[in-house]
Structure 1
Amino acid sequence: MSSAQTAPDSAETPLSIAVIGAGPRGAGVLERLAANLGTEWPTDRSLLLHFIDPFPAGPGRIWRFDQSPLLKLNSMAADVTMYTDETSVIDGPVRPGPSLIDWVDQVRAGTIELAPVDAALAAEIAVLTGSSFPTRRLQSLYLDWFFRTAVDDLADSVTVQVHPARAARVDDLPGGDQLVLLDDGSSIVAHLVLFSLGHNGSQPAPEHSALAGFADRNELVYLPPTFTADANLSAITPGEKVIVRGFGLAAVDLTVLLTEGRGGRFDRDDTGRLVYLPSGSEPRLFLGSRRGVPYRSKISSTLVGDRPVPRFFTTAAAARLENESESLDFTAQVWPLIAQESLWGYYRELFTGHPERVSLPWAEFADRFAAIDPRALPIAAGSHVSADARRSSHPLVDFGADAPDIELDITRFRALVAEAVPDPVDRLFLPEFDRPLHGLRFGSAEELQQALRQHIRADLDVRTLPEHSATLGLFVALLTSLFTLSDIIDSPKWSARSRVRDIHGWWLGYFSFIASGPPGHRLEELIALSEAGVVEFLGGDLWVTADETTGLFRAGSANVDRVVTAAALVDARLPDTSVSRSDNELLRALIASGGGLEHVVADGDYVGSTGRLLVRQQDTRVVDAGGGLHERRFAIGPYTNSPFVGAFSRPRTNAISFRENDKVARALLRALAALNAPARVDA
């Protein structure tokens, strides 16, 4: 607001905020607004909060109740909360509340009342435990309750209005107020706007447009990247061959909907082995990806060794890097420390929790491990993996004159692990863990199927059996490193290439592969589907072409001499983030009008875009096309350059999302307070 603008009449006009997007992130900001009333805003001052979303307030689009009851969270019920707790480092008040499993316990006890639910949900609520993976429909009920509870916690002077519509455009009015135009023809005038749009799709990239055109010309089926629950799968017919490009959560959900979702069912034979009983309505799915293996399954073991404490990539270490570096490079400077911390977390749990599985004392292993140059650890692999394969997973680093010493430390690390860890199952080398199929060749497609099934079984063992809790040590260290990285993520010192290629590129995919995989039972089901012939694995370094000669899609991999042709192709992954190509009309209009700016970074001869909306980190104010800050617009969520790790998180982890929610809520209230101050007039 310029100094010549007048403040609203505080005696007559309630100040107002329009929150565009009422899903979990918008609901989380609402809870933080309620918590900060009285400190950043007088509780007797009228305040009007508009929540705008065509989907139900609380769940939003992704977690809406109206989706398949087969779709689940990839988190256990004990690991999901919408509430701050004693670990939350925030400026606002901590207001604890129930995690998802605590909420279910209270529903069962009758202290929280729900409207009548269908038989499937009633059965789920009756047996849910903290280690269960809840359905998205149950999570929808939790989020609905959370939103309504947050509304109830507001002071009497605060009014909430929910608008079940889509915001199409936001315009500046004379004096600075914001005009929000809705797709139902109505409009809202607010003093401030918070864009809280959650995950968005994108308009087709050139590759996807070309594949869609090929499919149209040849009467084929092509589904571009999208959210699986929103995809129209009706064109995929029973028995049809379908090439599926992607092996993450989207591919798992797709597989569920096209198998069990079409009437198939799982059962156990007399030996306890899971088997799939087809309905006959399933297609034949051919799955492949760059790695060629599914995301690592969720971990169900518990830590039994020393309490996890960061050693190498600590808050102090991150701050020292940021303070002492003229330019920050993720791959060269930060990734080695994260790799060191991850391996430290794994081996500490192995040695201190399972001393019977190792042949050296932890103190000796720890001293020798700490002496290894961390730059060697991301590329240190088992001796059978070539140097080229070691370096294939991540961008190359030129070690220059240090290269011989790095190679020596790689050898030292391999020798240390071989000496100290007798069973190869317990040995962790990051390149093989990330790309287990890289460089492998199989004599036939059936050999590849057998190898993949064995890989999945082994992954399930090490991530579920108590004696393999070291994998949880790896996860905890990786998660802690992610939180530590958030402390310097907004540093202006990051190189442009590193910000685009690393931070918003391979790093997020790497983290998701290890830490955000499906529930273990989904991978057991995948094995059963493979054995039933409904699913076949294509392998890694997958390639897909549109063959104009045959009018079909073709696919193959680097692991086996086999080419599959099909009349259907699904790109089973989430759309890339690009606010300028978003399928959200509001975001495209914001960029086109100059009211917002896609985050483009450059240094030297490199220019790249993160695809995200540029905001000022300290308060998430939107940056306009001229580089200025919009005084009335704020934005939060995964489509912005602000830190983001889920709208809800694990209890007692000082979750980033809750820190961000508190930050933006306080910034909004302070901005309103400034508007409510007596007007200043230029001399």
Structure 2
Amino acid sequence: MVRHAMRMLREAETPGKHPVTAATQRNMRPAPGAPQGMLAVMPPLTVAVLGAGPRGVGWLERVVENLRAGELGQGAVAAGIRIVLIDPYQPGPGRLWRYDQSPLLKLNSLAADVTMFTDASCTVEGPITPGPSLSEWAEQFRAGELDVVVDDDAVRAELEALGPSSFPTRRLQSFYLDWFHRRTLARLPEGVEVEWLRTSAVSVAEDGDHQRVGLADGTTLAADAVLYALGHNGSQLAGEHELLDRFAREHDAYYLAPAFTADADLDGLPPGAEVIVRGMGLAAIDLVVLLTLGRGGRFEPDNAAPGGLRYLPSGNEPRLHLGSRRGVPYHSKVTSQLVAPRPEQRFFTREIAAELGARGADFAADVWPLLAQEALHGYYHELFLGHPERVRMPWGEFLERFATLDPWSDELRALVADALVDPADALDLTAFDRPLAGLEFADHDALQRHLIDYIVDDVHRRTAAEHSATLGFFTSLLFAFFAIGGSGIEVPPWFKAFFSYVASGPPVHRLEELLALAEAGVVRFLGAELEVRADASAGVFRASSPSVPGELVSRYLVDAWLPEEAAHASENPALRDAAGQASVAPLLTVHPDDSRLIGPDGEPHAARFAIGPFTSAPNAGAFARPLTDAMSFRENDRVARAVLRLLDELAEAQSSAESPAVRSSSVPPFC
């Protein structure tokens, strides 16, 4: 694996002693008010970063580039800046994207749609520092232009073949993220050091002028600022999940609560077991992959099959019965291309978002209708201008009437019916969101046939050139969602779920594999509005759906979705600790300007910041897409600049003879 050019603190270091390095020696200078000729070790201004995955190191890159620009942080650099990354996993990949996981697990993004670098689209205040997307990085690797060592033959072979439209493995992504982090470290200005503590933070407490970060090994770190960048975390068992777990243990059954699939123990699912799976998003797809391909099954081409594949079982697979609220899988990633130019945002712009956020608009009543109208605008713009043979009226006439109509109204349905040649080209948001609503099937075989046909049609609409309007819908919804960033609009969980359903589905080939598994009988579908109850008298789980009569009885139940993003229920003690000290419902509330943590009194904390999915700030996907002015880049830059301003203020106070106690050498950085 790639070696880091970064110092890692060892557990053997003496508690209470600052390890003196060349970097810290440069920060030794007379303490304010000290006798002439006497030196006191002045600890550098310290920032503790809790979490060193993509968000943590993405923020670090913004700090480095803002410092190099020379506008902010120069006073802090003169005093010395020390950034301590606290994470038990390797900085860059972090936990979720680490190398040490199944080689079968993939990103749900095209290699061309993944970047860690700002670009010309970004509206950040700090400098734009372009760099390669994942696919461009692979090209540079093949050209021998990168300081990257890949000692995994499978990853090397994948890199040799990786193109813009490839879906890379998470193992490959770990090398990109590691390289990005090392590149950032190589650009550190003089006077700045970065350290990695290979442990976890468990708490943050006030300690005079400092923040005292408690670590899992019992030691503490004194910091001037703290950034929570903990990414996705598991959650403690509570409510229904706790009851189901207890039921399974008491009745010799199996229950898997929401978890990261790469970390889940699946050994309790034996070959041939009838397994109820709640959830049909990415976690469910990963589960299916690990229990089929991961157990020796394989796919082979079959042009006569619905998805072009046939599954050859190994005999080690359980039989997986999938259901959810919608009863259908997440839509796959779109691989078609726009024919017409992408339209300018018209119904939901940054300016509109800012106005809605300023007046505290209700999301369902005020924000969602405008987002929906923008997304439909993108769909029909591409359909009319990219495929004029499929419509019966000019785009201008349609748009004039469309602009005045409610996205869910009968009037819009009538307009669309008049305008389209093929009624199947209409996009009805209600049917799109709940495709099985109101449908009843005679038996599970009829439901199975319907779902196979549905998935075949969905894959076609996400891949075929004649259905590029699907990409128009996705792209306009994406940019509309990005406009929310920094507006102060709080995005409710139900909309995040809808956005994921549209934008965060699996690679197309995973749905083609799902079709083959359904044809082979390894995967069965349970329907929409799935209900599962634990039957204590029989010691089994019973699953039923209004989509189809009857129920499935099993001793095996998997809840295949990601753990709840609730700070107070997180398995991460630092997040639970933060939830006890901040405004949380259930996410940590942060200020829209600089992501400072909001306390129970409604005021932002002077020295604590938070970024990531566990906060109230809008969050879209794990990685940024090039040329989309990604929300994560804007937030990372805002927070980096806010932290540097804070450090400049502290450095100025530190150097003032009128404030000799602001920085005291009696406060050790570790104890």
Structure 1 and Structure 2 fold alike (TM over 0.5) = yes
Which of 349, 368, 373 aligns to 1:314? It is 349
1:333 aligns with one of 350, 366, 371: 366
- Greater shift, 456-465 or 298-307, is seen at 298-307
Aligned-partner Cα distance in 1 for 2:503–2:545: 25
- Superposed CA deviations along residues 358-390 of structure 1, whole A, max 9, x for unmatched, are 222222222222232x2xx2x34xxxxxxxxxx
Look up the match of 2:641.
Answer: 666
Per-residue Cα deviation, 1:169-189 (whole angstroms, up to 9, x for no partner): 22332x322222222344322
8 Å CA contact 1:7, 1:677 repeated in 2: no
Residue of structure 2 aligned with 1:167, choices 182, 197, 201: 201
Q: Which residue of 2 aligns with 1:416?
A: 415
1:7–1:676 Cα contact (<8 Å) kept: no
What is the CA deviation profile of residues 333-371 of structure 1, one whole-angstrom value per residue up to 9, with x for unaligned ones? 221111111111101100100111222222222222223
Which deviations, in whole Å up to 9, do the C-alpha atoms of 1:162-213 show, x marking residues without a partner?
A: 111111222332x322222222344322222111111122111211111111
Aligned-partner Cα distance in 2 for 1:333–1:181:
43
Give the 3 Å change call, closer, same or farther, for CA 510–116 of structure 1 in structure 2: closer
Which residue identity is paired with 1:183?
A
CA contact (8 A) 1:31 1:150 kept: yes
Cα distance in 1 for residues equivalent to 2:563 and 2:165:
30
Aligned residue number for residue 391 of structure 1: none
1:119-177 residue CA offsets vs partner (Å, 9 max, x unmatched): 2111111111101110001111100001111011111321111111111222332x322
Aligned to 2:582: 597
User: What's the secondary structure of 1:486's corresponding residue?
Assistant: coil
Counterparts of 1:317 and 1:148, CA distance in 2: 39
Matched, 1:228 2:261: yes
Alignment of 1:106-255 (within 5 A): 106-173=140-207, 175-255=208-288
Compute the displacement of 1:647 (Å): 4.6
| 1:303 to 1:17, Cα distance in 2 relative to 1, 3 A | same
Amino acid at match of 2:481: L
> Is the aligned partner of 1:102 residue 2:136?
yes
Cα shift readout 1:559-602 (whole Å, capped 9, x = no counterpart): 1102001111011111112211111112223334xxx2242xxx
Deviates more, 1:452-461 or 1:581-590: 581-590
Structure 2 unaligned runs (5+)?
1-31, 661-671
CA distance in 2, matches of 1:419, 1:537: 36
Residue pair 1:579, 1:598 contacting (<8 A) in 2 also: no
Question: Which residue of structure 2 lines up, in the alignment, with residue 40 of structure 1?
Answer: 72
Deviation (angstroms), 1:439 = 0.3
| Aligned position for 1:455 | 454
Aligned to 2:523: 535
| 1:408-429 deviation digits (Å, cap 9, x = unpaired) | xx1x322222222122331111
Q: Which amino acid aligns with 1:312?
A: F
Query: Which residue pairs with 1:613 in the alignment?
Result: 588
2-structure distance, mates of 1:670, 1:205: 41
2:587 partner SS: strand
Q: 1:248 to 1:550 in 2, by over 3 A?
A: same
Aligned: 1:58 with 2:101: no
AA aligned opposite 2:60: L
Q: For 2:418 and 2:604, how far apart are their aligned partners in 1?
A: 58
Q: Distance in 1 between matches of 2:282 and 2:627?
A: 25
Deviation at 1:648, TM superposition (A): 2.4
How far is 1:39 from its partner?
1.6
Q: 1:675 to 1:554 in 2, by over 3 A?
A: same
Q: Which amino acid aligns with 1:39?
A: E
Asked whether the 8 Å contact 2:302–2:310 carries over to 1, the reply is yes
Whole-angstrom distance in 1 between the partners of 2:57 and 2:90: 11
Q: Which moved more, 1:476-485 or 1:620-629?
A: 620-629
Alpha-carbon shift at residue 113 of structure 1 (Å): 3.1
Aligned residue in 2 for 1:393: none
- SS of corresponding position for 2:615: coil
User: Which amino acid is the alignment partner of residue 281 of structure 2?
Assistant: G
1:483 match:
482
Alignment match, 2:315: 280
Give the structure 1 partner of residue 468 of structure 2.
469
Residue 16 of structure 1 deviates from its aligned partner by 1.4
Q: Secondary structure at the match of 2:59?
A: helix
Alpha-carbon offset, residue 558 of structure 1: 1.2
Q: Secondary structure at the match of 1:612?
A: coil
Rate the CA distance shift 1:639–1:320 in 2: closer, same or farther, 3 A: closer
TM-score (norm 2): 0.89
CA deviations 1:41-92 (Å, max 9, x no partner) are 1255421111110011101011111000000001000000000011111111
Provide the residue aligned with 2:292 in structure 1: 259
Aligned-CA RMSD value: 2.0
Indicate the SS of the match to 1:312.
coil
Distance 1:641 1:321, change over 3 A: closer
1:383-402 paired onto structure 2 within 5 Å? none
Match of 1:390 in 2: none
Match of 2:22 in 1: none
- Name the counterpart of 1:291: 326
| Offset from partner CA, 1:289-324 (integer Å, 9 cap, x none) | 00000001100000001332112222333344456x
Alpha-carbon spacing, 1:100–1:624, altered in 2? closer, same or farther (3 Å): same
Q: What are the within-5 Å matches in structure 2 for residues 506-521 of structure 1?
A: 506-521=494-509
The AA in structure 2 aligned to 1:14 is P
Change in Cα spacing, 1:619 to 1:105, as seen in structure 2 (3 Å) is same
Contact 2:486 / 2:593 at 8 angstroms: preserved in 1? no
> Cα–Cα, structure 1 residues 170 and 204, in superposed 2: closer, same or farther, change >3 Å?
same
- The 1:647/1:458 distance shift into structure 2, 3 A limit, reads closer
Q: Deviations over 1:589-625 (max 9, x none)?
A: 3334xxx2242xxxxxxxxx3x111222222222334
Answer whether contact 1:291 1:541 (CA < 8 A) is retained: yes
Q: Is the CA contact (8 Å cut-off) linking 1:351 and 1:358 kept in structure 2?
A: yes
Q: What is the CA–CA distance in structure 2 between the aligned matches of 1:473 and 1:432, rounded to whole Å?
A: 18
After superposition, the Cα gap between the structure-2 partners of 1:668 and 1:321, relative to the gap in structure 1 and judged at 3 Å, is: closer
Paired position in structure 1 for 2:3: none
- State the distance in 2 between where 1:10 and 1:98 align: 44
8 Å CA contact 1:7, 1:675 repeated in 2: no
Deviation of residue 675 (structure 1)? 0.8
1:583 counterpart residue number: 571
Q: Take 1:215 and 1:661, find their aligned partners in 2: how far apart are those partners? A: 43
Does residue 357 of the first structure (1) align with residue 390 of the second (2)? yes
The amino acid across from 1:548 in the alignment is A
Deviation at 1:628, TM superposition (A): 4.0
Identity across matched positions, percent: 51
Amino acid at match of 2:296: G
Using structure 1 for the length normalisation, give the TM-score: 0.87
Aligned residue for 1:398? none
1:626 Cα deviation from its structure 2 partner: 4.0
* CA–CA distance in structure 1, aligned partners of residues 89 and 384 of structure 2: 49
SS in 1 for 2:82: strand
Q: State the one-letter code of the partner of 1:296.
A: H
What secondary structure sits across from 1:364 in the alignment? helix
Structure 1 residue matching 2:129: 3-state secondary structure: coil
Whether contact under 8 Å (2:518, 2:524) holds in the other structure is yes
> For 2:627 and 2:425, how far apart are their aligned partners in 1?
29
Secondary structure in structure 2 of the residue aligned to 1:32: helix
Q: Per the alignment, do residues 664 and 564 of structure 1 end up closer, same or farther by CA in structure 2, a change over 3 Å counting?
A: same
Task: Specify the alignment match of 1:21 in structure 2.
Answer: 51
Which structure 1 segments of 5+ residues have no match? 1-5, 381-409, 492-498, 600-608
Corresponding residue number in structure 1 for 2:611 = 636
Partner residue in 2 for 1:388: none
Distance in 1 between residues matched to 2:351 and 2:40, nearest whole Å = 46
How far residue 548 of structure 1 moved from its aligned partner, in angstroms, is 1.4
